[in-house]
């Protein structure tokens, strides 16, 4: 009997170690991806500055909807953190509510970006063709690239929403929520940086 208990404890310890190793690998891969994204946008903003200094730069007002989208993004980080803290305490309801609200805010951000681009077109700020300018082109590229990465965050949120609805997470197993939250908070910080960059370097 003692031998069986010892084998069971060894197996549990091994399973726990495997789970911890998987967590480390998943987090390391996520951070590696984040570093790559930072380098990508570092290249975009550096090219923006270089082109800006060459002159022939059209100055235009940032549409008000981009201010709203910034507020929405900040709020979404708050709601995602609420969801993460809830599952850490085993609060399934809080997790479900938090991730669902975060998803809706993420979709609201997408809508604001789209409407903001339409407003830019109304100001005759074009990406290509007659009347286009490097300032407008960079604005479209930078904001669009952020939105493309945000779609990845929305997909991860959808996965979390579905799994949360099936009670797949617990106070001892919430890695999926944690990884999605890390990426979402990163996207939030990235957008704040990009928005301030585009606001001050006009």
Which of helix, strand or coil describes residue 44?
A: helix
Q: Is the pLDDT of residue 1 over 80?
A: no
pTM confidence score? 0.90
Helix (H) or strand (E) holding 60: none
Residue 195: partners with Cβ closer than 8 Å, 6 or more residues away: 66, 70
> Around 124, how many Cα atoms within 13 Å sit in the side-chain half-sphere?
3
State how far the Cα of 43 lies from the Cα of 123, in Å rounded to an integer.
27
Which of helix, strand or coil describes residue 170?
A: strand
Q: Using the Cα atoms of residue 99, residue 167, residue 87 and residue 24 in order, give the sign of their dihedral.
A: negative
What are the structural domains of the chain? 30-200 (1.20.120.80)
State how far the Cα of 175 lies from the Cα of 23, in Å rounded to an integer.
7
Chain position carrying tokens 């970006």: 113
Between 11 and 36, residue with greater pLDDT: 36
Per residue in 100-149, pLDDT tens?
999 999 999 999 999 999 999 999 999 988 888 999 999 999 999 999 99
Position 178 scores a pLDDT of 96
Q: What tokens appear for 197 in the block?
A: 């960059």
State how far the Cα of 24 lies from the Cα of 73, in Å rounded to an integer.
28
Q: Is the pLDDT of residue 83 over 80?
A: yes
Percentage above 70 pLDDT, the chain: 90
Position 130 scores a pLDDT of 83
Which of helix, strand or coil describes residue 61?
A: coil
Backbone angles phi, psi at 52, to 5 degrees: -60, -40
């Amino acid at each position: 009997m003692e031998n069986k208990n010892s084998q069971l404890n060894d197996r549990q310890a091994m399973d726990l170690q495997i789970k911890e190793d998987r967590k480390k690998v998943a987090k390391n891969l996520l951070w590696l991806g984040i570093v790559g994204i930072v380098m990508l946008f570092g290249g975009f903003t550096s090219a923006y500055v270089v082109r800006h200094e060459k002159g022939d730069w059209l100055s235009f007002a940032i549409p008000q909807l981009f201010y709203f989208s910034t507020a929405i993004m900040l709020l979404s980080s708050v709601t995602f953190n609420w969801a993460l803290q809830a599952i850490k305490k085993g609060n399934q309801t809080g997790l479900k509510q938090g991730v669902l609200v975060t998803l809706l805010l993420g979709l609201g951000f997408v809508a604001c970006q789209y409407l903001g681009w339409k407003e830019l077109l109304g100001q005759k700020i074009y990406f290509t063709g007659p009347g286009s300018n490097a300032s407008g082109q960079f604005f479209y590229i930078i904001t669009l690239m952020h939105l493309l990465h945000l779609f990845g965050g929305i997909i991860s949120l959808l996965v979390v929403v579905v799994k949360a609805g099936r009670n797949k997470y617990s106070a001892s197993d919430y890695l999926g929520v944690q990884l999605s939250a890390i990426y979402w908070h990163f996207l939030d910080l990235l957008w704040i940086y990009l928005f301030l960059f585009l606001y001050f370097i006009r």
